Structure 1
Amino acid sequence: MLKAVLFDLDGVITDTAEFHFQAWKSMANSIDIDFDREFNEGLKGISRIDSLNKILKYGGVLEKYSDNQKMALANSKNAEYVELLSELKPDAIYPGIKELLDTLKMEEIKIGLTSSSKNGPRILDKLEINHYFDTVVNPALIENGKPAPDIFLSAAEELGVKPEDCIGIEDSESGITAIKDANMFAVGVGTEEVMEKAGADLIYKHTGELEFSGLLHSFKQTIS
C-alpha cells in the first residue's frame, strides 16, 4: 500500500542548479580551477563536500587542502549560493508539482523531502510549500550520501512507514540508485536513457507529466 512519496529537490521540485553552478564556479575560480557546465552535471545529487572533492580532484589539488581548508571553501560556496537563493520565488516551482502535493495531502499520503541540500528548508520556505512536508531529512545527519540509500531509509523511518510502501522521485542517476537500494519504487524525471540505466521503475520526461493516478497505478502494478 502506498503510504509516502519522497521528493528530491533540485530538478524535481524546482531548479537551483544554475545557482549551484554559479557559486561552485566562483569558488573554484578563486583557487584557479575552472570547469564547464558538463562537469557541473556530475555534481548533481551529491553532497557539498563530495562536490568540493570532485572539483579539487579535477583541478589536481585534492591533496593540497586540509579538512579545515576544505570546510572553509565549502562554506564560501554556500554563502554565495544562499545569497543567490534570495532571488527564488514561488513561481519557480516546476509544473505539476503543486498539484501533486495537493492531491497527496487530500489522499492522506505522507510527504518527505530527501534532498542532499542542507538548504532544503530554506528553499521550501522561499517556494512557500514547506507546510506540505511531513518530514525534511537533514542530510547533515546522514552517514552516507547518495547513491547510498541512507537518506531514503531515514525518511521512511521518520514517517513511520515501510520502505516498500514508498515512492521516491529523483532526476539524477545517483538518486535513482539510492531509491532502488532502499527497496522503494523509483520514479525518474529526465532523460529516458539515463533514468533507464539507473533502473527507474517509471520515467517522465518532465514534471508536468507527474500525476497521482498514474503514479499509483504503476506502483500497484509493480508490487502486485
Structure 2
Amino acid sequence: MNYQAVIFDLDGVICHTDNYHYQAWKQMADREGIYFDESINSRLRGVSRMASLEIILERAQRTYTAAEKEALAAEKNEIYRQLLMNMSPADLSQDVAATLRQLKDAGVKIAIGSSSRNAKTILRQIGIFDWFDAISDGENITRSKPDPEVFVKAAGILGLAPSACLVVEDADAGIRAAHDGGFHSAGMGDACGNDEATYSIIAFHELSDIVLGKRMQNGPVTE
C-alpha cells in the first residue's frame, strides 16, 4: 500500500547517538559509584530518561529519593547535551539524506516520533530540522514507548490517521508502540525481524519502495 507519511524514530534510525547516551550515563554512574556497562546500556534503548535511570539504579548500593533521581537525570542530560554539540551534518548518512529527499519529492510527509527531549537539538545539529512536517518528542508526551502516544501525536500533527502512516523503528519497544497505536511499521537494526513489524529492512533506502507501494508487506529482508 502507499503511505501518506512516514514517522521516524530518531536515534538509531535517522542518526546514531547511542555512544553519547552511553558516555553520559557512564559518567553519571561512575560519579555515584554505580556499576554500569554496555550490557546494561542496551536495556535503555527506546526507554525514557527516568525509566533508564531506574534500570541503572538497580545496581546502586543505596536508595535514592525522588529529588535525588531528578538531579541525577538532569546531570546525565546536561552531560549528554554537551556531547551533542559535537554532532554535525557529517553525522547524517548520504543514504538517509537521499531517501528523505526522495520521499519529500514524492509528496510523502515525514515526521519524527522520538521519546528524546533533545530531538530538536539533534536535528538542528545535523542540519535537517526544517525537513520535517511534524516533530513529536519528549517535550509533548507524558508516556514513553512502548506506549504509542508519541506516534499518535505525530500523526495528529500531520492530520492523518495511523493507518495512513508508516513508523520506522530500530527498537522492539518502538515496534510494540506502533503496533498498539494502529500503525504499520518497518523494523531495522535491533528491530529487524521483529514479528510485530510489518516490514523488516537492512538498508534505509528500502523505505522508498515500501512507502511508494513497490514492496509488499512482510517482504524479504534485503541482503
Give the alignment's TM-score, normalised by structure 1.
Answer: 0.90
Query: Is the 2:113–2:135 contact (alpha carbons within 8 Å) kept by the matching residues of 1?
Result: yes
Tell me the residue number matched to 2:221. Answer: none
The alignment-based identity, stated in percent, is: 35
What's the C-alpha RMSD, in Å, of the aligned pairs?
Answer: 1.8
Cα pair 1:190 1:206 within 8 Å, conserved: no
Instruction: Name the residue aligned to 2:33.
Output: 32
- Residue 14 in structure 1 maps to residue 11 in structure 2: no
Structure with the larger helix share? 1
Q: Identify the residue that residue 212 of structure 1 maps to in structure 2.
A: 208
Post-superposition Cα deviations, 1:69-112, rounded to whole Å, max 9, x if no partner, equal 11111111011111111111111113421111101211121111
Read off the aligned partner of 2:200 and give its amino acid letter: I
Within a 5 Å distance, the mapping from 1:91-106 to structure 2 comes to: 91-106=90-105
Name the structure 2 match of 1:187: 186
Contact 1:135 1:158 in 2 (8 A): yes
Query: For residue 200 of structure 1, what is the aligned residue in structure 2?
Result: 197
- Residues 45 and 116 in structure 1, CA contact (< 8 A), matched pair in contact too: yes
C-alpha distance in structure 2 between counterparts of 1:221 and 1:77, whole Å: 40
| 1:138 matched residue in structure 2 | 137
How far off is 1:218 after superposition?
A: 6.2
Q: Does 1:47 align with 2:52?
A: no
Cα deviations by residue, 1:174-219 (Å, 9 ceiling, x for unpaired): 011111111111101114xx53345111111243x43412333267
Matched residue SS, 2:139: helix
Whether the aligned pair in 1 keeps the contact of 2:192 and 2:201 (CA below 8 Å) is: no
What letter matches 2:57 in structure 1? L
Equivalent position of 1:74 in the other structure? 73
Is the 2:28–2:76 Cα contact (8 Å) retained in structure 1?
A: yes
* Cα distance in structure 1, aligned partners of 2:195 and 2:37: 24
Instruction: Identify if the C-alpha distance between structure 1 residues 126 and 40 changes in structure 2 by more than 3 Å, giving closer, same or farther.
Output: same
Is this contact kept in 2: 1:96–1:211, CA < 8 A? no
In the alignment, the residues of structure 2 paired with residue 189 and residue 182 of structure 1 have an alpha-carbon distance, to the nearest angstrom, of 19
Question: 2:116–2:138: 8 Å Cα contact kept in structure 1?
Answer: yes
Distance 1:145 1:15 in 2: 19
Distance 2:76 2:172 in 1: 24
159-168 or 209-218, larger mean C-alpha shift? 209-218
Letter in structure 2 aligned against 1:212: S
The change in CA–CA distance for 1:11 and 1:138 in structure 2 (over 3 A counts) is closer
Cα distance change, pair 103–206 in 1 and its aligned pair in 2 (3 A)? closer
Distance in 1, Cα, partners of 2:74 & 2:195: 31
For 1:60 and 1:152, the matched residues in 2 are separated by: 37
SS of the aligned residue for 2:110 comes to: strand
* TM-aligned CA distance change 1:58 to 1:198, over 3 Å: farther
Structure 1 residues 106 and 196: CA distance shift in structure 2, 3 A:
same
